[in-house]
Protein backbone atom coordinates (compact mmCIF):
# COMPACT_ATOMS: atom_id res chain seq x y z
CA UNK A 1 0.00 0.00 0.00
CA UNK A 2 1.25 3.52 0.62
CA UNK A 3 1.55 6.51 -1.66
CA UNK A 4 1.33 4.58 -4.93
CA UNK A 5 -2.16 3.26 -4.29
CA UNK A 6 -3.31 6.73 -3.26
CA UNK A 7 -1.87 8.16 -6.44
CA UNK A 8 -3.65 5.69 -8.67
CA UNK A 9 -6.94 5.54 -6.75
CA UNK A 10 -9.78 6.18 -9.23
CA UNK A 11 -10.93 9.79 -9.17
CA UNK A 12 -14.47 10.37 -7.90
CA UNK A 13 -16.78 11.11 -10.84
CA UNK A 14 -17.47 14.78 -11.49
CA UNK A 15 -21.05 15.98 -10.97
CA UNK A 16 -23.49 15.82 -13.84
CA UNK A 17 -24.15 19.47 -14.65
CA UNK A 18 -27.53 18.94 -16.30
CA UNK A 19 -28.64 17.23 -13.07
CA UNK A 20 -27.28 20.06 -10.90
CA UNK A 21 -29.41 22.52 -12.86
CA UNK A 22 -32.45 20.26 -12.82
CA UNK A 23 -32.38 19.98 -9.02
CA UNK A 24 -31.66 23.67 -8.47
CA UNK A 25 -31.45 26.04 -11.45
CA UNK A 26 -29.77 28.70 -9.33
CA UNK A 27 -26.89 26.80 -7.80
CA UNK A 28 -23.43 27.17 -9.29
CA UNK A 29 -20.93 25.34 -7.05
CA UNK A 30 -17.63 27.06 -6.27
CA UNK A 31 -15.69 24.57 -8.41
CA UNK A 32 -17.24 26.08 -11.58
CA UNK A 33 -16.58 29.72 -10.72
CA UNK A 34 -13.69 31.35 -12.56
CA UNK A 35 -11.22 33.56 -10.74
CA UNK A 36 -11.82 37.32 -10.70
CA UNK A 37 -8.76 38.06 -12.81
CA UNK A 38 -10.05 35.84 -15.61
CA UNK A 39 -13.52 37.33 -15.48
CA UNK A 40 -12.08 40.86 -15.66
CA UNK A 41 -10.42 39.96 -18.99
CA UNK A 42 -13.86 39.45 -20.56
CA UNK A 43 -14.01 43.17 -21.23
CA UNK A 44 -12.13 42.13 -24.38
CA UNK A 45 -15.32 40.83 -26.00
CA UNK A 46 -15.79 42.02 -29.57
CA UNK A 47 -19.17 40.91 -30.97
CA UNK A 48 -19.04 43.28 -33.96
CA UNK A 49 -16.15 41.29 -35.47
CA UNK A 50 -18.43 38.20 -35.75
CA UNK A 51 -19.58 39.21 -39.21
CA UNK A 52 -15.95 39.20 -40.39
CA UNK A 53 -15.28 35.54 -39.58
CA UNK A 54 -14.61 34.08 -43.06
CA UNK A 55 -17.28 32.03 -44.84
CA UNK A 56 -16.08 29.53 -47.43
CA UNK A 57 -18.10 27.74 -50.08
CA UNK A 58 -17.18 24.08 -49.69
CA UNK A 59 -18.51 23.01 -53.09
CA UNK A 60 -16.32 25.59 -54.89
CA UNK A 61 -13.36 24.69 -52.69
CA UNK A 62 -13.72 20.99 -53.53
CA UNK A 63 -13.70 21.85 -57.23
CA UNK A 64 -10.41 23.65 -56.73
CA UNK A 65 -11.69 27.20 -57.42
CA UNK A 66 -8.71 29.55 -57.09
CA UNK A 67 -10.58 32.31 -55.29
CA UNK A 68 -12.00 29.91 -52.69
CA UNK A 69 -8.55 28.40 -52.10
CA UNK A 70 -7.19 31.92 -51.62
CA UNK A 71 -9.95 32.59 -49.07
CA UNK A 72 -9.05 29.37 -47.25
CA UNK A 73 -5.38 30.40 -47.08
CA UNK A 74 -6.34 33.82 -45.75
CA UNK A 75 -8.80 32.36 -43.21
CA UNK A 76 -6.24 29.89 -41.83
CA UNK A 77 -3.58 32.61 -41.59
CA UNK A 78 -5.66 35.40 -40.10
CA UNK A 79 -8.35 33.62 -38.13
CA UNK A 80 -7.61 29.90 -37.71
CA UNK A 81 -11.42 29.55 -37.89
CA UNK A 82 -14.00 29.81 -40.66
CA UNK A 83 -17.51 28.63 -41.50
CA UNK A 84 -18.23 26.39 -44.49
CA UNK A 85 -21.48 26.50 -46.44
CA UNK A 86 -22.63 24.15 -49.22
CA UNK A 87 -20.87 21.21 -47.56
CA UNK A 88 -23.26 18.73 -49.14
CA UNK A 89 -24.29 16.98 -45.91
CA UNK A 90 -28.05 16.51 -46.22
CA UNK A 91 -30.33 18.24 -43.73
CA UNK A 92 -31.89 14.85 -42.85
CA UNK A 93 -28.47 13.75 -41.67
CA UNK A 94 -27.71 16.82 -39.54
CA UNK A 95 -31.30 17.00 -38.24
CA UNK A 96 -31.26 13.27 -37.59
CA UNK A 97 -28.26 13.65 -35.29
CA UNK A 98 -29.66 16.73 -33.57
CA UNK A 99 -33.04 15.10 -32.88
CA UNK A 100 -31.49 11.91 -31.57
CA UNK A 101 -29.05 13.81 -29.32
CA UNK A 102 -31.81 16.01 -27.89
CA UNK A 103 -33.82 12.90 -26.99
CA UNK A 104 -30.76 11.30 -25.40
CA UNK A 105 -30.06 14.29 -23.15
CA UNK A 106 -33.73 14.34 -22.07
CA UNK A 107 -33.42 10.79 -20.67
CA UNK A 108 -33.19 10.30 -16.90
CA UNK A 109 -29.60 10.33 -15.64
CA UNK A 110 -29.63 6.63 -14.81
CA UNK A 111 -30.42 5.83 -18.46
CA UNK A 112 -27.71 8.13 -19.79
CA UNK A 113 -25.30 6.60 -17.30
CA UNK A 114 -25.74 3.19 -18.92
CA UNK A 115 -23.05 4.45 -21.30
CA UNK A 116 -21.06 6.35 -18.65
CA UNK A 117 -17.40 7.10 -19.32
CA UNK A 118 -15.37 4.62 -17.22
CA UNK A 119 -12.84 6.18 -14.80
CA UNK A 120 -9.58 7.13 -16.53
CA UNK A 121 -11.14 6.77 -19.96
CA UNK A 122 -12.04 9.39 -22.54
CA UNK A 123 -14.92 7.64 -24.30
CA UNK A 124 -18.51 7.55 -23.08
CA UNK A 125 -20.96 9.91 -21.39
CA UNK A 126 -19.76 12.17 -18.60
CA UNK A 127 -16.47 14.00 -18.07
CA UNK A 128 -12.89 13.00 -18.51
CA UNK A 129 -11.19 13.78 -15.24
CA UNK A 130 -9.46 17.12 -14.77
CA UNK A 131 -7.77 17.81 -11.47
CA UNK A 132 -6.28 21.22 -11.95
CA UNK A 133 -8.69 23.83 -13.11
CA UNK A 134 -12.09 25.36 -12.80
CA UNK A 135 -14.69 22.86 -14.01
CA UNK A 136 -16.64 23.26 -17.25
CA UNK A 137 -20.40 23.78 -17.19
CA UNK A 138 -21.16 20.85 -19.50
CA UNK A 139 -21.66 17.11 -19.89
CA UNK A 140 -20.39 15.26 -22.95
CA UNK A 141 -20.70 12.11 -24.96
CA UNK A 142 -17.32 11.38 -26.53
CA UNK A 143 -16.84 8.50 -28.99
CA UNK A 144 -13.95 7.59 -31.27
CA UNK A 145 -15.89 6.71 -34.41
CA UNK A 146 -13.02 5.92 -36.81
CA UNK A 147 -11.05 3.78 -37.29
CA UNK A 148 -13.60 1.10 -36.38
CA UNK A 149 -11.20 -0.85 -34.19
CA UNK A 150 -11.01 2.06 -31.70
CA UNK A 151 -14.72 1.92 -31.00
CA UNK A 152 -15.91 0.93 -27.54
CA UNK A 153 -19.36 -0.56 -28.16
CA UNK A 154 -20.15 -0.51 -24.40
CA UNK A 155 -20.31 3.28 -24.38
CA UNK A 156 -22.23 3.74 -27.64
CA UNK A 157 -25.88 4.79 -27.29
CA UNK A 158 -28.56 2.48 -28.67
CA UNK A 159 -30.37 2.92 -31.99
CA UNK A 160 -31.52 5.39 -33.40
CA UNK A 161 -28.88 7.69 -31.86
CA UNK A 162 -26.21 5.15 -32.82
CA UNK A 163 -27.26 5.15 -36.49
CA UNK A 164 -27.45 8.95 -36.52
CA UNK A 165 -23.86 9.13 -35.24
CA UNK A 166 -22.72 6.60 -37.86
CA UNK A 167 -24.37 8.43 -40.73
CA UNK A 168 -23.25 11.90 -39.67
CA UNK A 169 -19.67 10.76 -38.99
CA UNK A 170 -19.30 9.00 -42.33
CA UNK A 171 -20.41 12.21 -44.07
CA UNK A 172 -18.02 14.23 -41.91
CA UNK A 173 -15.19 11.91 -42.90
CA UNK A 174 -15.73 12.95 -46.50
CA UNK A 175 -15.89 16.65 -45.54
CA UNK A 176 -12.74 16.39 -43.38
CA UNK A 177 -10.77 14.53 -46.06
CA UNK A 178 -11.78 17.08 -48.65
CA UNK A 179 -10.70 19.96 -46.40
CA UNK A 180 -7.35 18.26 -45.79
CA UNK A 181 -7.07 18.00 -49.59
CA UNK A 182 -7.66 21.74 -50.04
CA UNK A 183 -5.20 22.51 -47.24
CA UNK A 184 -2.59 20.33 -48.97
CA UNK A 185 -3.08 22.39 -52.13
CA UNK A 186 -2.65 25.75 -50.40
CA UNK A 187 0.48 24.38 -48.72
CA UNK A 188 1.87 23.66 -52.19
CA UNK A 189 1.53 19.87 -52.00
CA UNK A 190 -0.37 17.12 -53.80
CA UNK A 191 -4.02 16.93 -52.73
CA UNK A 192 -3.65 13.69 -50.76
CA UNK A 193 -0.46 14.64 -48.87
CA UNK A 194 -1.89 15.78 -45.52
CA UNK A 195 -4.28 12.85 -45.35
CA UNK A 196 -1.34 10.50 -45.98
CA UNK A 197 0.72 12.18 -43.26
CA UNK A 198 -1.90 11.13 -40.69
CA UNK A 199 -1.09 7.46 -41.49
CA UNK A 200 -4.47 6.73 -39.96
CA UNK A 201 -7.18 9.38 -39.75
CA UNK A 202 -8.58 9.10 -36.22
CA UNK A 203 -12.00 10.72 -35.91
CA UNK A 204 -13.69 11.26 -32.54
CA UNK A 205 -17.08 12.92 -32.09
CA UNK A 206 -17.90 14.94 -28.99
CA UNK A 207 -21.55 15.81 -28.38
CA UNK A 208 -21.59 18.46 -25.66
CA UNK A 209 -24.58 19.56 -23.60
CA UNK A 210 -24.18 22.99 -22.02
CA UNK A 211 -27.08 23.51 -19.60
CA UNK A 212 -28.43 26.96 -18.89
CA UNK A 213 -26.47 28.72 -16.16
CA UNK A 214 -27.72 31.28 -13.64
CA UNK A 215 -24.26 32.95 -13.55
CA UNK A 216 -23.23 33.10 -17.20
CA UNK A 217 -20.40 35.56 -16.58
CA UNK A 218 -18.88 33.42 -13.82
CA UNK A 219 -18.91 29.90 -15.31
CA UNK A 220 -17.69 28.78 -18.74
CA UNK A 221 -19.22 25.94 -20.74
CA UNK A 222 -15.74 25.05 -21.96
CA UNK A 223 -12.59 26.85 -20.86
CA UNK A 224 -10.14 28.40 -23.33
CA UNK A 225 -8.09 25.83 -25.22
CA UNK A 226 -6.77 25.04 -28.66
CA UNK A 227 -7.57 21.73 -30.36
CA UNK A 228 -4.74 19.21 -30.36
CA UNK A 229 -5.60 17.45 -33.61
CA UNK A 230 -5.15 18.62 -37.18
CA UNK A 231 -8.67 19.92 -37.87
CA UNK A 232 -11.96 20.36 -36.02
CA UNK A 233 -15.49 20.74 -37.38
CA UNK A 234 -18.27 21.97 -35.09
CA UNK A 235 -21.96 21.83 -35.91
CA UNK A 236 -23.78 24.39 -33.80
CA UNK A 237 -27.45 24.86 -33.11
CA UNK A 238 -29.12 27.74 -34.91
CA UNK A 239 -30.52 29.58 -31.93
CA UNK A 240 -27.86 29.72 -29.18
CA UNK A 241 -24.51 31.48 -29.56
CA UNK A 242 -21.82 30.11 -27.26
CA UNK A 243 -18.56 29.53 -29.10
CA UNK A 244 -16.02 32.37 -28.97
CA UNK A 245 -12.57 32.59 -30.54
CA UNK A 246 -9.54 34.68 -29.63
CA UNK A 247 -8.80 37.04 -32.50
CA UNK A 248 -6.06 39.65 -32.07
CA UNK A 249 -6.39 39.51 -28.29
CA UNK A 250 -10.20 39.83 -28.27
CA UNK A 251 -13.01 37.28 -27.88
CA UNK A 252 -15.19 37.09 -30.99
CA UNK A 253 -18.45 35.08 -30.91
CA UNK A 254 -19.07 32.67 -33.79
CA UNK A 255 -22.68 33.37 -34.70
CA UNK A 256 -24.47 30.25 -35.91
CA UNK A 257 -25.29 30.22 -39.62
CA UNK A 258 -28.03 27.80 -40.56
CA UNK A 259 -26.63 24.66 -42.27
CA UNK A 260 -23.01 25.80 -41.93
CA UNK A 261 -20.14 24.05 -40.15
CA UNK A 262 -17.50 25.83 -38.12
CA UNK A 263 -14.01 24.62 -39.07
CA UNK A 264 -10.82 25.26 -37.16
CA UNK A 265 -7.12 24.64 -37.61
CA UNK A 266 -5.68 22.46 -34.81
CA UNK A 267 -2.20 22.39 -33.26
CA UNK A 268 -0.90 19.80 -35.75
CA UNK A 269 -1.67 21.92 -38.83
CA UNK A 270 -0.03 24.83 -37.02
CA UNK A 271 3.13 22.72 -36.57
CA UNK A 272 3.06 21.21 -40.10
CA UNK A 273 2.66 24.70 -41.59
CA UNK A 274 5.50 26.04 -39.39
CA UNK A 275 3.11 28.52 -37.81
CA UNK A 276 1.67 29.95 -41.03
CA UNK A 277 -1.78 28.60 -40.14
CA UNK A 278 -2.89 29.22 -36.58
CA UNK A 279 -4.53 26.95 -34.04
CA UNK A 280 -6.61 29.52 -32.24
CA UNK A 281 -7.75 29.57 -28.63
CA UNK A 282 -11.47 29.23 -28.25
CA UNK A 283 -14.01 28.67 -25.49
CA UNK A 284 -17.74 28.27 -24.90
CA UNK A 285 -19.71 30.70 -22.74
CA UNK A 286 -22.89 29.73 -20.93
CA UNK A 287 -26.36 31.10 -21.48
CA UNK A 288 -28.73 32.19 -18.73
CA UNK A 289 -31.93 30.91 -20.28
CA UNK A 290 -31.10 28.28 -22.89
CA UNK A 291 -29.18 25.04 -23.02
CA UNK A 292 -26.89 24.51 -26.04
CA UNK A 293 -25.83 21.29 -27.73
CA UNK A 294 -22.82 21.19 -30.05
CA UNK A 295 -21.35 18.40 -32.20
CA UNK A 296 -17.57 18.50 -32.59
CA UNK A 297 -15.71 16.20 -34.95
CA UNK A 298 -11.94 16.07 -34.61
CA UNK A 299 -9.33 14.68 -37.00
CA UNK A 300 -6.11 13.35 -35.51
CA UNK A 301 -3.07 11.48 -36.84
CA UNK A 302 -1.98 8.04 -35.65
CA UNK A 303 -0.15 8.34 -32.34
CA UNK A 304 3.16 7.09 -33.77
CA UNK A 305 3.36 9.80 -36.42
CA UNK A 306 6.28 12.18 -35.94
CA UNK A 307 5.01 15.71 -36.31
CA UNK A 308 7.34 18.45 -37.49
CA UNK A 309 7.19 21.49 -39.76
CA UNK A 310 7.05 20.40 -43.42
CA UNK A 311 10.09 21.29 -45.52
CA UNK A 312 8.47 23.59 -48.03
CA UNK A 313 6.63 25.44 -45.25
CA UNK A 314 9.93 26.02 -43.46
CA UNK A 315 11.52 27.28 -46.67
CA UNK A 316 8.75 29.76 -47.33
CA UNK A 317 8.69 31.13 -43.77
CA UNK A 318 10.69 34.22 -42.79
CA UNK A 319 14.22 33.13 -41.84
CA UNK A 320 13.56 29.63 -43.29
CA UNK A 321 13.91 28.07 -39.82
CA UNK A 322 11.67 25.45 -38.24
CA UNK A 323 9.77 27.03 -35.34
CA UNK A 324 8.65 23.73 -33.80
CA UNK A 325 10.51 20.62 -32.65
CA UNK A 326 9.83 17.14 -33.93
CA UNK A 327 7.44 15.35 -31.57
CA UNK A 328 5.69 12.01 -31.74
CA UNK A 329 1.93 12.67 -31.77
CA UNK A 330 1.18 10.28 -28.88
CA UNK A 331 3.86 12.00 -26.77
CA UNK A 332 2.47 15.40 -27.70
CA UNK A 333 -0.93 14.34 -26.39
CA UNK A 334 0.54 12.90 -23.20
CA UNK A 335 2.71 15.90 -22.46
CA UNK A 336 0.00 18.46 -23.13
CA UNK A 337 -2.49 16.52 -21.01
CA UNK A 338 -0.18 16.61 -18.00
CA UNK A 339 0.27 20.34 -18.21
CA UNK A 340 -1.55 22.70 -15.96
CA UNK A 341 -1.48 25.54 -18.42
CA UNK A 342 -4.64 27.07 -19.77
CA UNK A 343 -5.36 28.18 -23.31
CA UNK A 344 -2.75 27.13 -25.82
CA UNK A 345 0.41 27.62 -23.76
CA UNK A 346 0.96 23.84 -24.16
CA UNK A 347 1.81 24.20 -27.88
CA UNK A 348 4.46 26.73 -27.01
CA UNK A 349 5.88 24.67 -24.15
CA UNK A 350 5.81 21.25 -25.77
CA UNK A 351 6.64 21.94 -29.40
CA UNK A 352 7.74 25.51 -30.04
CA UNK A 353 11.44 26.22 -30.39
CA UNK A 354 12.49 29.14 -28.22
CA UNK A 355 13.49 32.12 -30.38
O1 LIG B 1 -19.07 23.50 -28.30
C2 LIG B 1 -18.42 24.13 -29.12
O3 LIG B 1 -18.91 24.99 -29.83
C4 LIG B 1 -16.93 23.91 -29.27
C5 LIG B 1 -16.40 22.68 -28.61
C6 LIG B 1 -14.90 22.63 -28.63
O7 LIG B 1 -14.22 23.59 -28.90
C8 LIG B 1 -14.20 21.37 -28.29
O9 LIG B 1 -14.85 20.41 -27.86
O10 LIG B 1 -12.96 21.32 -28.45
FE1 LIG C 1 -12.16 23.03 -29.25
pLDDT 10s digits, 28-49 = 999 999 999 888 888 789 999 9
ipTM: 0.99
Predicted confidence at residue 93, as pLDDT, reads: 98
Answer yes or no: is pLDDT of 94 > 90.
Answer: yes
What is the structure's pLDDT at 41? 81
Candidate of 243, 293, 300 to mutate for ligand 1, largest count of ligand atoms within 8 Å of Cβ: 243
pLDDT number for residue 43: 79
Q: Sorting pLDDT into bands at 50, 70 and 90, what band is 337?
A: confident
- Say if residue 147 is preceded by a cis peptide, omega within 30 of 0: yes
Question: What gap in Å lies between CA 247 and CA 315, rounded to an integer?
Answer: 27
CA distance 162 to 166: 6
The response to whether residue 241 sits with its C-beta less than 6 Å from ligand 1 reads: no
- pLDDT value, residue 306: 98
The answer to whether residue 4 sits within a structural domain is no
Question: Which atom of ligand 1 approaches the CA of 283 most closely?
Answer: 7
Residue 29 in any domain: the answer is yes
pLDDT at 354 > cutoff 90: no
Is 8 inside any structural domain?
no
Q: What value does the mean pLDDT take over residues 169-176?
A: 98
Q: Find, among 14, 15, 182, 170, the residue nearest to 84 by Cα.
A: 182
pLDDT digits (tens, 9 = 90+) for 213-245: 999 999 999 999 999 999 999 999 999 999 999
Question: Would you say the CB of residue 294 lies under 6 angstroms from ligand 1?
Answer: yes
Range of the domain at 103: 17-351
CA 7 to chain centre: 29
Q: Which atom of ligand 1 is nearest to the CA of 262?
A: 3
pLDDT at 5: 39
Give the Å distance between the CA of 232 and the centre of ligand 1. Answer: 9
The pTM for the full model equals: 0.94
Say yes or no: CB of residue 282 within 6 Å of ligand 1: yes
- pLDDT tens string 154-165: 999 999 999 999
Binned at pLDDT 50, 70 and 90, residue 355 comes out as: low
Q: What is the 3-state secondary structure (H, E, C) of 49-77?
A: HHHHCCEEEHHHHHCCCHHHHHHHHHHHH
Pocket test residue of 209, 222, 231, 239 for ligand 1, highest count of atoms within 8 A of CB: 222
Is 83 among the domain residues? yes
Report percent pLDDT > 90 for the chain. 84
**Phi and psi, residue 300, nearest 5°:** -130, 150
**Protein residue whose Cα sits closest to atom 10 of ligand 1:** 227
* Residue whose CA is at the smallest distance from ligand 1 atom 5: 296
- Residue 160 in any domain: the answer is yes
Domain annotation covers residue 221: yes
Q: What is the pLDDT of residues 261-284, one digit of tens each?
A: 999 999 999 999 999 999 999 999
| Residue 262 and residue 294 in contact, taking contact as beta carbons nearer than 8 Å | no
Does residue 284 have its Cβ closer than 6 Å to ligand 1?
yes
Is 6 inside a domain boundary?
no
**Residue 2 confidence (pLDDT):** 36
Confidence tier at 77 by pLDDT (50, 70, 90): very high
**Alpha-helical regions (H) of the chain:** 3-7, 17-23, 36-40, 58-62, 66-78, 91-106, 109-112, 161-186, 193-197, 267-272, 311-316, 329-338, 345-350
Q: Please give the mean pLDDT across all residues of the chain.
A: 93
pLDDT computed for residue 340 by the predictor: 56
- How far apart CA 122 and CA 287 sit, in angstroms, is 26
Q: Which ligand is nearest to the CA of 220?
A: 1
From 234, 235, 290, mutation site for ligand 1 pocket: most ligand atoms within 8 A of C-beta: 234
- Give me the torsion for CA of 137, 91, 86, 138, rounded to 10°: 0
The answer to the question of residue 7 being in a domain is no
Report the number of distinct structural domains present in the chain: 1
Which atom, in ligand 1's list, is nearest to the CA of 292? 1
Q: Could you tell me the distance, in angstroms and rounded to a whole number, from the CA of residue 284 to the centre of ligand 1?
A: 7
pLDDT digits (tens, 9 = 90+) for 111-149: 999 999 998 899 999 987 676 579 999 999 999 999 999
Q: Is the CB of 296 under 6 A from ligand 1?
A: yes
Distance (Å, rounded) from C-alpha 232 to C-alpha 227? 7
CATH code of the domain covering residue 287:
2.60.120.330
Average pLDDT over residues 322-347: 84
Amino acid sequence: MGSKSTLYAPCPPLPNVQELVRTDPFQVPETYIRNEEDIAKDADLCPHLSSEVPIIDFSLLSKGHKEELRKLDQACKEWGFFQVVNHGVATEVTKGLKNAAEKFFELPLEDKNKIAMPPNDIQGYGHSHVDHKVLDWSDKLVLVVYPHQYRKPDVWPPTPFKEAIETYSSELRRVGEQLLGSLSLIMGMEKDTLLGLHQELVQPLSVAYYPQCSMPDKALGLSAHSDKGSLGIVMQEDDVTGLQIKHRGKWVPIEPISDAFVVNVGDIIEIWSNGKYKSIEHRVVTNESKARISYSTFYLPHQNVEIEPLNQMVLESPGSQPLYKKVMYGDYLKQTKKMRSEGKAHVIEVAKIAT
